[in-house]
A and B are shown apart, each in its own frame.
Chain A
Amino acid sequence: MIATVFSPGVVVLVGAVFLACTVEMVEALTIVLAVGHTRGWRSALEGVGAALIALAALVAGFGPALVHVPLNWLRLVVGGVLLIFGMQWLRKAILRSCGLKAKHDEDEIYRKKVAELKAVDAAVGRDRVAFVVAFKGVFLEGLEVVIIVLTLGTSAHRLSLAIVVAAIAVVIVSTAGVVVARQLSRVPENAMKTSVGVLLVTYGTFWVGEGLKVTWPGNDVMLVVFVLLYAVVTWLLILFMRRVHPNVNTVAP
């Protein structure tokens, strides 16, 4: 029982969903805080609620449907999507680590969003601008989380676990966001994005292999091997890129 709960597959699944959800929710929360502080909380929270309902409907609609796809095909397609998605995240994180891409600065995003919102005339009663901006912020950031939850959850036959972990991450980030208010820039986003990238590429590799009937030595244990492999490769690529581009500002990987 304990061995199943703490199997490499479950640990990697929980880690990937939790970190991805946390990173995306930090980005969404920055927008919601900017909307709430500038235009009032009522319409901002209505926008957040509507977006969460829309995201939950997507999970409820597509989740059960995906379970009926033959497992090998599901794992091959999901593995391919996760490989692409994971490498995109890793690429961005590595470029940010060596200064070739601007760091995701939540303070700066907050300031810009506040300035944009202040430029629009205040509404009487329900604020349509606040609703739409909060809805879009949460829905668009949440969409990536939904894709990660659906793909990882259904392929591992642990959709419920993936949903629960994502919900826990949303609650933790929301609570922390309210407590620390506008100090979201202190969240080590790039390090978290690097970790999510490593985990997504790990699962992508594993499931493309499974989908193509490759027999992995040690089965699930290969997930741990892939995590270590991709973490080391990422670290080496960051060192190499910093050496090639020494005159740019660097941020923590």
Chain B
Amino acid sequence: MESKPSLPVRLLKGFAMFWWDFLVGDTPELFVAVVFTIGVVALLSLDGHFNAAAAIALPALAVLALTLSLWRASRAARK
């Protein structure tokens, strides 16, 4: 017979599940896009030479991520 996990383990699992549902849920593409965006902007702003590019890339990539996520939802609706 399988033993029930201890209370701390269950709490930790519940906490992790909450954040997974909250941040990833049914839109993993948005999570990946934001991580990618942060990576790109971090590289651009590394030594301060590409500040203008970073300032433009950040909102542009956010708009692109939203558009792609909607395109994915639209494709799923057509099926």
B:16-40 near A, CB below 8 Å: 22-23, 25, 27, 30-31, 34-35, 37-38
Chain A contact-residue range equals 20 to 34
A97 CB → nearest B CB, Å: 11
B11 CB → nearest A CB, Å: 14
Asked if A226 is at the interface (CB within 8 A of a chain B CB), the reply is yes
A:78-127 near B, CB below 8 Å: 80-81, 83-85, 87-88, 90-91, 94-95, 100
Residues of A within 8 A of B73 (CB): 91, 95, 100
Residues of B within 8 A of A208 (CB): 37-38, 41, 58
A95/B42 contact (C-beta < 8 A), A84-B34, A205-B62 known: no
Residues of B within 8 A of A83 (CB): 34, 37, 62
Q: How many residues of B contact A (CB 8 A)?
A: 29
The chain B residue with its CB closest to the CB of A95 is B73
B16 CB → nearest A CB, Å: 15
The chain B residue with its CB closest to the CB of A101 is B73
Q: Identify which of A164-172, A188-196, A209-217 touches chain B.
A: A209-217
Q: Report yes or no: B54 in contact with A229, Cβ–Cβ below 8 A.
A: no
Q: Report yes or no: A80 in contact with B38, Cβ–Cβ below 8 A.
A: yes
A94/B70 contact (C-beta < 8 A), A205-B59, A212-B41 known: yes
Alpha-carbon gap, A88 to B65, bound state (A): 11
Q: Report yes or no: A226 in contact with B69, Cβ–Cβ below 8 A.
A: no
Asked if A76 is at the interface (CB within 8 A of a chain B CB), the reply is yes
Alpha-carbon gap, A85 to B25, bound state (A): 11
The chain A residue with its CB closest to the CB of B35 is A80
Residues of A within 8 A of B51 (CB): 214-215
B7 CB → nearest A CB, Å: 18
B contact residues vs A (CB 8 Å cutoff): 22-23, 25, 27, 30-31, 34-35, 37-38, 41-42, 45, 48, 51, 54-55, 58-59, 62-63, 65-67, 69-70, 73-74, 77
A contact residues vs B (CB 8 Å cutoff): 76, 80-81, 83-85, 87-88, 90-91, 94-95, 100, 147, 201, 204-205, 208-209, 212-217, 226, 229-230, 233, 237, 241, 244-245
Additional A-B contacts beyond A208-B38, A230-B59 (18; CB < 8 A): A76-B38, A80-B38, A81-B23, A87-B65, A88-B27, A91-B30, A91-B66, A95-B73, A100-B73, A205-B58, A205-B59, A208-B41, A208-B58, A214-B45, A214-B51, A214-B54, A216-B55, A241-B70
